[in-house]
Structure 1
Amino acid sequence: MWKPILLGVFVHCILLYAALDIFYSSPVIHGMSPQGASSSPPARRLVFIVADGLRADTLFSKKRCLQRNSLFLRRMSLRGSWGYSQCRVPTESRPGHVALLSGIYEDVNAVTRGWRENPVEFDSVLNQSRYTWAWGSPDIVSIFVKGKYASHIFVDAYASEMQQFYQDSSQLDEWVFDKVEQFLNDSHYNSTLRSMVMEEKVVFFLHLLGTDVAGHSYKPHSEEYEKSILLVDRGIEKLYELFEKFFNDEQTAYVFTSDHGMTDWGSHGSGTLDEISTPLIAWGAGIRTTTAPKNAPPCWNDIDEQHCRINQVDVAPLLASLIGINFPMNSVGILPLDLLNVSQKAESLLMWNNFKQILDQFLLLRKRKVEAYFEMFFREFNDFSFAKMEVFVKTVEQLLVQKRYSYVVRLCQKWIPTLLRGVDYYHRYEQRFLCFCIVCCFITWIACAISFVFANDGIVKNDFTFMHSSAYVYWIFCFFASIFYLNSFAFSYYLYALLPFYLYNVATTGKTNIKLLLKLSKVNISFMVEIILTVIFVEMLLASFFFRTSLVVCNAILIFWSVRINLRDWKTKLFWIVLCMITSIFLNLPVVGQSPFYFMVIGFSGFITLFFSLLKLCNWTNNCRYIHPLCIVFHLALTVNLSRATTELEEPLPSACRLCSWILLISSAFMPLISNTRVIVRLLTVWSSILLPLSLMSVSYEPIFFSFYAIQLWVWIWIEMKLDRHGRMFCLQDLNFKAECQFSQSIACMSDIRKSAIFIFFLLLGFFGTGNIASINSFDPKFVMLFVSEFSPFLMGALLMLKILLPLLFACCTLRVLELFTCSKLSTIYWYAVVICDLLALVWKCVSCA
């Protein structure tokens, strides 16, 4: 049995890595020459300010009360230009700053690198500047420093301990403003520092984290968030006056924006409009004045009609153009000329250099594919072939000589999007071939998994060895390996392409018992109905990843199944139908976190505490020695939750509450050990041990949902036990985990497929009952406020994953009961579950590759 499991782990590790390798590979390439922005820049220096987590609609709101919080920025927007930039998922701080300063959409896997302060591996505006001074959070300003190679970048960051939730976030921004003011004062008296500051191509980068912390802690529509915006506005006004007074040459450009927005409930990471829309205000040297009527304040609703809309990566070429430095070499941003106040000749040269910078990426990627593949295998990007490129370059050079600058601008603006499609085409050149290989891997592995099921029942004799292979498989290996080697394929491509042949060999090894197979393949109307319902059921499971309400259809199918099964216990049927309806209600509620309601958690915790207390006092169970410690821990949990709800948000939770939470979390893992081995007692204790940490990390209806979820699982096991015992009576109290299975386990049949499909349904219901895919990427820090007081992403992420996995753990515990007290083999249910999950992944992969 261990051989198939090891093979399955190996195959799924390759498939998981393939998904990241194919769809989330880094777009960074090396070996290009930098392209200069301009020989005569409109500004000598740049002040670049990023307010982390600032929403565009909040800054540009029509409400008078909100307009008073940003009077200076609104005034500057009338003297310059304003609009909004649109960022991409994931809307996190590191990808946002990489897009702003490097002009590149970093691969999704790099989000965690920002948490470890790893330096970025590609070019940026800060690298290309003559000198850069940066102030702000250590998680952001430090990632652009490449050690000894960044001798011209000077970083000053506050300690990470200052990033405390539910404390005054204004101290973070005040620290930055004070440091910049101190720096300018020092420059008056330090001649060396003053000479450096007075150079051209200098960047001052200010990262303001206060708005993000205030949004997480108090939500974007809170008074604290508005105060944070007011502080930012007043601080920028003061620094503007200091910069203008210090340099006094009107050669300073100012750009203000945000790395990402925020949802109404204070999270970010997904792709809602509030998260991807960020404000953009630019003024000073080289910035074109807005065309809006004089004294007309910026308004969120007017952006579509009058003002600029750019992508976040377009900010990087804008910054480079303002101070005349090279464009970041991996930038895919398009220079927004509407924001620049330069001559027509300068516009044409800037757009031409922007085009050449992207063209370098295109040519380098194309060159690598031409050198790697045989000519018969190479496929040109037809929209911008090499011949078209040569004609285009000659045309633009002639237009520049003829001083027809407007034509140059129009041509570059027309063809840069096509060129970007070409860059993406060569970057994903092998994607379709690799997707085909992965689909073949899935199909052959599913065949292997089915053969393992049949092998358990004697239908197929499949005793394979890892190194055994047929002669023709060996020659196929050698043939394709030679082609891949001559085409300079990466080693991972060998695995993706050759693995299906190996899996096919494993699946077809052995002899088939024809009599048993024919016995299983009898077709009748009932069988066809079950097949059709199972297919619809599995399709709805897949749809739940996009629409969580699709699981309501699965509940409806389960209700239909319970009605048509041969079970005379109508009370159990009615109870099952009611539970299916109740869990369907939760699927239609908003995901948790959008509207925190702690008193719902407290009320339910109090009810559970009362329940266990009554069990103890009234001695309603014969073996209640485990009830007393359960009463104690739930009383403690109730106290901690009350402290969380009643503590003033301006103050952190008492350390005693946090210590108590950790003690409860750790002790809950040992609670099942204090119970006996009776099924009903053990499951009740497991439910309690999961409910305890879940309630400590809940902000709304999660504990209530989990309780109904657990009851529905119990009733499902009860129905399956009655079906397999053909209605025979048995006592629930007598079921014991130590008892051996007294029922002969049957060969694989349709009921095992049904059980596996329902088990997967419960796994997905445990996740989608309270959240969705986006809730993994963007979550409320309030989930973990009882355990963490400062920004600690790895610990916070671990606690979030624990909260997600807890209901799934309970479902796995009930599966053990199903195996002990029904006629099904656990290995059979396991392999069918693997097959169904891989079928879901296969369909998803086919849709992604289409």
Structure 2
Amino acid sequence: MSRSLSPRALTESIEITKLLLVGLVFHLVYIGTVFDCYFTSPVVHGMQQFRIDTPGAKRLVLIVGDGLRADLLMNLNAFPNIPDSPEVVAPFLRSVAETRGAIGISHTRVPTESRPGHVALIGGMYEDVSAVTRGWKTNPVHFDSVFNQSSHTFSFGSPDILPMFAQGATPGKVDMWCYHEDEEDFTKDATALDIWVLDQLRALFHNATDNSTLTAQLRQDKTVFFLHLLGLDTTGHSYRPHSKEYMTNIQVVDTIVRQTESLLSEFYGDEETAYVFTADHGMSVIGNHGDGDPDNTRTPLIAWGAGVRGPLPDSVPSSHDDYSMPWGLTHLFRHDVEQADVAALMSALIGVDWPVNSVGVLPDVDHTRPGYLKFTGSAKDQAEAALVNAKVILEHYRVKHELKKSTAFLYKPYSYFAELEDEGEPGSSVLNVVEVLIKRGRHDEAREASANLIASALAGLRYLETYDRSLIRIMVFVAYTGWMAFSAAHILPAAWVQPISDEQMLDIFSATCLLVSWTLFAMQHKPWSLYLYVTFPVYFWREAVLKCGGSLGFFLLFASLLVAVSSAKSLRAKLGLPLVNQVAGWAILSLASALPFVVAPFKLDPNMRIWALFLGFAVCFVLLSISVEGCFYVVYSATLYMWTEVETALTTTPSGRPLNKNHLDDKGYQLRAEDVRIAVFFLFFVQVAFFGTGNVASISSFYLEPVYRLVPIFNPFLMATLLIFKIVAPYVMLSVLFADLNHRLGLPPLSLFTVAVTLTDVMTITFFFNVSDTGSWLEIGQTISFFCISSLLLVWSAGICVLGEALLRPSRAAPPKAKSG
């Protein structure tokens, strides 16, 4: 026979169920914060386009060996464990590198996958990772690319890669020939996929012999051919990169590259074709890719043909390192690039507009090293190419700047451009300087200025792309800490639960926070998800404070420890104070300091009231301490508490009545010997509270380092306020414990204070005669400080006593609990 639950058990069951459901929804919804914070699309539209007016080639061939490692292509004896392996695995590409081309390494970014690698190579941008979740093969967010800017692009290869560039381009601009996706069989010989690509290219040129329309398209300037060779990636996954199968696939790719050049030379009969051979990513030893393993991020780059310089002797110091020593090409100059730079290089080779979202930097911008291009003119062409590159990236920054400026509340532009104070568009003054340098023939200086502008514009783009990141980070921190407080409120013992006194004020405050947040989001055209995100922390903290506001002191103390440790780590590393830490520190300090005065004071006995004040002001010492001085507050408060207990035990009976009944008579308060002792200890604790905090050595010396966790930039007023607040914190404990002792001894308010006043004047006279006008500034300042402090101690001590009486009066005014039986 089942038993029905009691009303109390039923209520608890409902509360736990509610807690679990809310927690489940919260954690599922907040998974989206990682994408809103870190993975927002960099694609914007509306940019003006720029190009180089003197292209070096009429057409371009881009060949990508998917999953090809640079070392296994270029090393001599790259496969020593394979019997009869050749010394040079790719003789044609090596011959090109030694006699006709420019070489280097294209460094990819994580994730080292096919889609982001090709987007960087062809679009010149680093797509956010979340784009994969919106479609691997297609491209719902249409980004610009070199293919889209070409007169026509003929692409051959995998259905996993080609469609996103064809569908993202102007209709009819990009033609593609893809094998069926079922052909990507890991159990078959993957070289067949690469051979299929070559066969389709050969068929294209054959069909052009009796197709005038196709012939006209092929013979246009600015034509691009794209050969995507997937075989290496498939083979590497199946057999690992150091296998015989992978070596054989490299040999097949080398043959395909050679035959491709022969086909184009035969069809066009000229030398106006530029070739770029590279890879989208590498391959780890175990046949994987995706992470930041160097074998995954280092891919080969070989460029040759029209518009490309030939091989150059190595520089001093050498451009090679231990990685490229096994190539046997140390006599040739090696110029490494970032993967997105390849798009800029291809755009410059055939003179098409740079992709509008490109962040690639032309290798020839750096005036200290030879680039990849062969300029038929003078150094002026190089300087003008660098200027075009600067305009492309600066235009990208300008558009994002205007978009953010039009929506962001209290928008702050990137510091570099803010300091320029351009009357027109950002960076216009620097562009004018570069143009003047070019006109005056100072071409190296112009390239250097363009390089600096590009670096600043790229940093500004990163700044704008992460502009809202701090807001979301703060929201996430407040939400998760709120959830912890909310869940803790349901499991704390009933004795710890101390509700706040005014639920209506809390509701008004919560509604105001929500309304203000939503209004600001609406003004800035924020995504709908942020409206949902901000609801959770407001709800969690409202419920937590409502249910057990008095117990939140423990949680805030723990949170302050986490923030202090994180901030200290960042400051020690000289990384500055993270904005999230600064905001969290201020929020925790403000809430903790206000909490003792918000929690229902009439429902707390004096001991609980003292405990709440201790926790509330402990946060101050956690955040504003850099060493062991944080322990001072704990030890000082514990010593005060023990002192009051000892004094109470010495001067009262076990029932709590005063031992000396003559202490209070009809004439009022009568002094006794014990009161002098108490007054002396009181004055002792007054002195210790001031000089024991570690902040102030004297009136003439302030130690500011503790406030760096909240105020990293020099602000005298705010820093001084924080230091004074930290100095006051121990006096809060002294005031309430001294007032409690006064009450427990059955004395009228401020009775013991009158004894301390007399002793204070004795100290004042003593310190006056000890003031020195010789010695160091510190010594002189200390003697003056002692006198000034003792002179003001009367007012200060009176304030302490009045503060203590005020803080404890609500708890004493609470109606006494009725005694049972």
Q: Which has the larger radius of gyration?
A: 2
Pick one of 385, 392, 414 that aligns with 1:350: 385
CA distance in 2, matches of 1:299, 1:94: 30
Please name the residue that 2:97 is paired with: 77
Q: For residues 139-154 of structure 1, what are the structure 2 equivalents within 5 Å?
A: 139-146=160-167, 149-154=170-175
Q: For residues 333-348 of structure 1, what are the structure 2 equivalents within 5 Å?
A: 333-337=360-364, 338-342=371-375, 343=377, 344-348=379-383
Structure 2 counterpart SS, 1:509: helix
Following superposition, the deviation at residue 27 of structure 1 comes to: 1.1
- CA change 1:513–1:289 in 2 (3 A) is closer
- CA change 1:35–1:67 in 2 (3 A) is farther
CA distance in 1, matches of 2:73, 2:182: 29
Letter in 2 for 1:194: T
CA distance in 2, matches of 1:364, 1:150: 25
Deviations 1:442-479 (A, max 9, x none): 11111112123338x897699xxxx9982221123223
Letter in 2 for 1:345: K
Letter in 1 for 2:60: L
Please name the residue that 1:582 is paired with: none
Structure 2 counterpart SS, 1:481: helix
Please name the residue that 2:199 is paired with: 178
Following superposition, the deviation at residue 480 of structure 1 comes to: 3.3
Deviations 1:598-644 (A, max 9, x none): xxxxxxxxxxxxxxxxxxxxxxxxxxxxxxxxxxxxxxxxxxxxxxx
Q: For residues 487-498 of structure 1, what are the structure 2 equivalents within 5 Å?
A: 487-498=524-535
Following superposition, the deviation at residue 188 of structure 1 comes to: 1.9
The answer as to 2:440 corresponding to 1:396 is no
Q: Does the CA-based 8 Å contact 1:58-1:66 persist in structure 2?
A: no
Following superposition, the deviation at residue 121 of structure 1 comes to: 1.7
CA distance in 2, matches of 1:267, 1:365: 36
Pick one of 283, 289, 296 that aligns with 2:310: 289
Q: Does the CA-based 8 Å contact 1:45-1:251 persist in structure 2?
A: yes
- CA change 1:499–1:378 in 2 (3 A) is same
Please name the residue that 1:831 is paired with: none
- CA change 1:254–1:301 in 2 (3 A) is same
Pick one of 180, 183, 192 that aligns with 1:159: 180
The answer as to 2:62 corresponding to 1:48 is yes
Following superposition, the deviation at residue 15 of structure 1 comes to: 2.2
Following superposition, the deviation at residue 291 of structure 1 comes to: 1.1
TM-score by length of 2: 0.59
CA distance in 2, matches of 1:141, 1:303: 36
Deviations 1:492-539 (A, max 9, x none): 33344453222101223336999xx99x99xxxxxxxxx9xxx9xxx9
CA distance in 1, matches of 2:274, 2:350: 8
- CA change 1:480–1:21 in 2 (3 A) is closer
Please name the residue that 2:540 is paired with: 503
Letter in 2 for 1:349: E
Structure 2 counterpart SS, 1:145: helix
CA distance in 1, matches of 2:334, 2:511: 64
The answer as to 2:351 corresponding to 1:324 is yes
Structure 1 counterpart SS, 2:394: helix
CA distance in 1, matches of 2:343, 2:304: 16
Q: Does the CA-based 8 Å contact 2:279-2:300 persist in structure 1?
A: yes
Following superposition, the deviation at residue 2 of structure 1 comes to: 3.0
Q: Which runs of 5+ in 1 are unaligned?
A: 522-530, 540-845
Deviations 1:722-755 (A, max 9, x none): xxxxxxxxxxxxxxxxxxxxxxxxxxxxxxxxxx
The answer as to 2:297 corresponding to 1:264 is no
Please name the residue that 1:16 is paired with: 31
Q: Does the CA-based 8 Å contact 1:469-1:502 persist in structure 2?
A: no
Letter in 1 for 2:528: F
CA distance in 2, matches of 1:13, 1:370: 32
Structure 2 counterpart SS, 1:477: helix
Please name the residue that 1:248 is paired with: 269
Pick one of 505, 508, 517 that aligns with 1:471: 508
- CA change 1:14–1:458 in 2 (3 A) is farther
Q: For residues 344-743 of structure 1, what are the structure 2 equivalents within 5 Å?
A: 344-374=379-409, 377-385=410-418, 387=421, 389-454=427-492, 470-510=507-547
Q: Does the CA-based 8 Å contact 2:314-2:334 persist in structure 1?
A: no
CA distance in 2, matches of 1:191, 1:422: 49
Q: Sequence identity, in percent? A: 36
For CA contacts below 8 A with separation 6 or more, give which structure has more relative contact order: 1
CA distance in 2, matches of 1:147, 1:396: 34
Letter in 1 for 2:24: V
Following superposition, the deviation at residue 407 of structure 1 comes to: 2.5
Deviations 1:767-794 (A, max 9, x none): xxxxxxxxxxxxxxxxxxxxxxxxxxxx
- CA change 1:475–1:113 in 2 (3 A) is closer
Q: Does the CA-based 8 Å contact 1:120-1:144 persist in structure 2?
A: no
Deviations 1:548-570 (A, max 9, x none): xxxxxxxxxxxxxxxxxxxxxxx
Please name the residue that 1:68 is paired with: 88
- CA change 1:210–1:329 in 2 (3 A) is same
Letter in 1 for 2:198: F
CA distance in 1, matches of 2:452, 2:314: 30
Following superposition, the deviation at residue 327 of structure 1 comes to: 0.4
- CA change 1:303–1:22 in 2 (3 A) is farther
Structure 1 counterpart SS, 2:479: helix
Letter in 2 for 1:4: L
CA distance in 2, matches of 1:359, 1:16: 34
Following superposition, the deviation at residue 277 of structure 1 comes to: 0.3
Q: Does the CA-based 8 Å contact 1:251-1:285 persist in structure 2?
A: yes
Letter in 1 for 2:185: Q
- CA change 1:96–1:382 in 2 (3 A) is same
Q: How many residues align?
A: 516
Q: Does the CA-based 8 Å contact 2:313-2:332 persist in structure 1?
A: no
Deviations 1:87-136 (A, max 9, x none): 01111000000000001111011234553434552100011101000000
CA distance in 2, matches of 1:302, 1:481: 61
* RMSD between aligned residues: 3.3
CA distance in 2, matches of 1:492, 1:346: 49
Please name the residue that 1:834 is paired with: none
- CA change 1:434–1:304 in 2 (3 A) is farther
The answer as to 2:318 corresponding to 1:306 is no
Q: For residues 806-845 of structure 1, what are the structure 2 equivalents within 5 Å?
A: none
Q: Does the CA-based 8 Å contact 2:186-2:234 persist in structure 1?
A: yes
Q: Does the CA-based 8 Å contact 2:144-2:168 persist in structure 1?
A: no
Deviations 1:109-168 (A, max 9, x none): 123455343455210001110100000000011111127833121000000111111211
Q: Does the CA-based 8 Å contact 1:117-1:138 persist in structure 2?
A: no
Pick one of 151, 155, 166 that aligns with 1:134: 155
Following superposition, the deviation at residue 490 of structure 1 comes to: 3.5
Please name the residue that 1:785 is paired with: none
CA distance in 1, matches of 2:103, 2:392: 26
Deviations 1:262-291 (A, max 9, x none): 001101111000000000011100111111
Q: For residues 772-791 of structure 1, what are the structure 2 equivalents within 5 Å?
A: none
TM-score by length of 1: 0.57
